[in-house]
């Protein structure tokens, strides 16, 4: 899996490389790599605008402009800073730019048009809202209809969280130096980074720190798929119990059950809170329906998924307590999480569990569990997921654009799969069923979580690639596509 680095990690890598190689210019390497990327993007185009800011990101832009001019491109370079106040490395890049016979402008020539705009305004480490001329420039670039290449991070985007500092560049492409940053992969970064590529700057693996996190990749997560022996039977693949389906919300439990049976669980029991329990699903007759309380007497269960359509009644809370007190691997979602958030007793019981526990909250459910508001969760999704994992000794998937998967040991991952077609009712219930099926088949909690989250999004992406969605994509369609992919990958 590809490493992901926070800003502090990148700074430490840069310092270590420079200390070990006095005289090396990482800015020169970055500028050359970005210029080569720009050349690839230009194709038959030749008009380039390079917009540089007051820091080292601006210095990267000046190096890019120097190379592009040297290669014969019609390059216009704008410096929105006092050249005499540039930091050391950027000042050196500026002097080399001037020595090459080039000059900078103080403003963008608004009457001109470009085949490509290079964003070298603001890099990683931004901490305050963008205002004034810089903000106006970003707004103008975003309405220019030109392709945009961002250097390291789209200006205005928090490289650690993916949040926007008031306004941010919407790039066509981003070339990330040294490694990936969390902000490119989650929250608003998904809409602003465009296609992301990495320039290693010829820094060897031995010079890199242990990464903060990892990007989930198909080649890694598919190794978790259960392999099926010829000599097997339904009992070989576990039995999942699903607790949910209160009055008026039975569909959530049905979707979870259908997902579970199609993702390989040997048997699936749907324990409903609605009375009487539905005994038969004409679409998926393989599912076995029971009253929720009866389900706990089933000795065959190998895992539980609790929460889809559960509601918040007294009966729901009683079933949740029994689920938490069980010795089975347990996934908690939806109203199971809301009930836990509202009860210190349930929180204490959850913390006391010694068996595998998985939580799959959306941001508002995560906020309730951590006693804060949704905006606080979204302000730093990685840290929120890590806090939940530590607080409840659980493997956690904080859902959303670039879902964050966090483990109790502090490891975290960002999922690259998924699309806006998943923003519809029932997709979270399908995820519960997919992960529950994997748990029932004896995958470790972390394996079930990472594979399930990646597969769930990949199924939606495969549908989108065939023209199914994003508008009107349904949770039910994701189930069948996830089954197809899992068989293709196995």
Q: Report whether 117 contacts 146 (CB < 8 A).
A: yes
Domain with CATH 3.40.50.10260 in the chain: 2-212
Kindly give the confidence (pLDDT) of every residue in the chain, 490 residues in length, as a single tens digit, with 9 standing for 90 and above: 999 999 999 999 999 999 888 878 999 999 999 999 999 999 999 999 999 999 999 999 999 999 999 999 999 999 999 999 999 999 999 999 999 999 999 999 988 899 999 999 999 989 899 999 999 999 999 999 999 999 999 999 999 999 999 999 999 999 999 999 999 999 999 999 999 999 999 998 778 888 989 999 999 999 999 999 999 999 999 999 999 999 999 999 999 999 999 999 999 999 999 886 667 788 999 999 999 999 999 899 999 999 999 999 999 999 999 999 999 999 999 999 999 999 999 999 999 999 999 999 999 999 999 999 999 999 999 999 999 999 999 999 999 999 999 999 999 999 999 999 999 999 999 999 999 999 999 999 999 999 999 999 999 999 999 999 999 999 999 999 999 999 999 8
Strand 239-244 and strand 412-414: the pairing is unpaired
Domain with CATH 3.40.1190.20 in the chain: 218-489
* Residue 359 bridge partners (DSSP): 332, 396
**414 CB burial (10 A radius; 0-12, 13-18, 19+):** buried
Residues 6+ apart with CB under 8 A from 450: 216, 221, 224, 405, 413
Strand 2-4 and strand 213-215: the pairing is antiparallel
* CATH tag for 218-489 (out of 3.40.1190.20, 3.40.50.970, 3.10.129.10, 1.20.1060.10): 3.40.1190.20
**Inter-CA distances, 416 with 92, 119, 136, Å:** 37, 24, 31
Exposed e or buried b per residue across 379-408, where buried means at least 16 C-beta atoms within 10 angstroms of its C-beta: ebbbebbbbbbebbebbbbbbbbbbbbbbb
0.85 exceeded by the pTM?
A: yes
**23 CB burial (10 A radius; 0-12, 13-18, 19+):** exposed
C-alpha angle 431-189-45 in degrees, rounded to nearest 5 = 125
Q: What gap in Å lies between CA 49 and CA 119, rounded to an integer?
A: 9
Query: Among candidates 161, 156, 81, which has minimal Cα distance to 119?
Result: 156
* Residue 77 bridge partners (DSSP): 50
Q: What is the pLDDT of residue 333?
A: 98
> Residue 120 is encoded by which pair of tokens?
């070298």
Q: What is the pLDDT of residue 276?
A: 66
Q: What is the pLDDT of residue 490?
A: 85
Q: What is the pLDDT of residue 278?
A: 62
Exposed e or buried b per residue across 328-362, where buried means at least 16 C-beta atoms within 10 angstroms of its C-beta: bbbbbbbbbbbbbbeeeebbebbeebeebbbbbbb
Q: What is the pLDDT of residue 380?
A: 97
**Inter-CA distances, 453 with 435, 442, 489, Å:** 8, 17, 15
Q: Label each residue of 384-448 as H, E or C.
A: HHHHHHHHHCCEEEECCCCCEEECCCCCEEECCCCCHHHCCCCHHHHHHHHHHHHHHCCCCHHHH
Record: fold of 2-212: Rossmann fold (3.40.50)
Q: What is the pLDDT of residue 2?
A: 94
């Amino acid at each position: 899996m590809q490493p992901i680095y926070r800003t502090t990690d990148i700074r430490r890598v840069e310092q270590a490389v420079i200390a070990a190689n006095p005289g090396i210019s990482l800015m020169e390497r970055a500028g050359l790599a970005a210029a080569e990327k720009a050349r690839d993007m230009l194709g038959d185009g030749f008009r380039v605008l390079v917009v540089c800011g007051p820091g080292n990101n601006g210095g990267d832009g000046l190096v890019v402009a120097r190379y592009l001019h040297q290669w014969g491109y019609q390059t216009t370079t704008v410096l929105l800073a006092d050249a005499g106040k540039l930091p050391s490395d950027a000042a050196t890049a500026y002097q080399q730019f001037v020595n090459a016979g080039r000059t900078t402008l103080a403003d963008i020539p608004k009457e001109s048009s470009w085949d490509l705009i290079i964003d070298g305004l603001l890099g990683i480490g931004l901490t305050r809202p963008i205002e004034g001329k810089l903000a106006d420039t970003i707004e103008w670039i975003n309405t220019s209809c030109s392709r945009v290449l961002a250097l390291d991070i789209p200006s205005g985007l928090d490289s650690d969280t993916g949040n926007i500092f008031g306004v941010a560049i919407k790039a066509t492409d981003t070339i990330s130096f040294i490694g990936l940053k969390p902000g490119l992969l989650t929250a608003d970064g998904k809409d602003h980074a465009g296609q992301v590529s990495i320039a290693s700057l010829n820094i060897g693996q031995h010079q890199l720190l242990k990464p903060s996190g990892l990007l989930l990749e198909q080649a890694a997560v598919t190794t978790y798929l259960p392999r099926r022996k010829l000599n097997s039977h339904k009992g070989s693949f576990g039995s999942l119990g699903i607790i949910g389906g209160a009055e008026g919300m039975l569909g959530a439990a049905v979707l979870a059950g259908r997902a579970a049976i199609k993702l390989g669980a040997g048997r699936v029991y749907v324990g409903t809170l609605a009375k009487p329990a539905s005994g038969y699903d004409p679409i998926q007759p393989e599912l076995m329906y029971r009253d929720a309380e009866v389900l706990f007497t089933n000795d065959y269960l190998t895992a539980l998924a609790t929460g889809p359509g559960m509601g918040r009644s007294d009966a729901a809370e009683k079933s949740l307590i029994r689920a938490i007190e069980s010795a089975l691997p347990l996934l908690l979602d939806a109203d199971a999480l809301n009930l836990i958030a509202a009860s210190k007793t349930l929180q204490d019981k959850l913390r006391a569990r010694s068996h595998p526990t998985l939580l799959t909250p959306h941001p508002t459910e995560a906020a309730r569990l951590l006693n804060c508001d949704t905006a606080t969760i979204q302000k730093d999704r990685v840290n929120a997921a890590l806090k939940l994992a530590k607080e409840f000794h659980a493997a956690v998937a904080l859902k959303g654009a670039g879902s964050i998967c966090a483990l109790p040991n502090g490891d975290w991952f960002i999922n690259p799969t998924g699309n806006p077609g998943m923003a519809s009712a029932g997709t979270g219930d399908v995820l519960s069923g997919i992960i529950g099926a994997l748990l029932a088949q004896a995958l470790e909690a972390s394996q079930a979580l990472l594979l399930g989250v990646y597969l769930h999004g990949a199924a939606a992406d495969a549908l989108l690639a065939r023209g199914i969605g994003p508008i009107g994509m349904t949770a039910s369609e994701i189930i069948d596509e996830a089954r197809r992919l899992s068989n293709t990958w196995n």
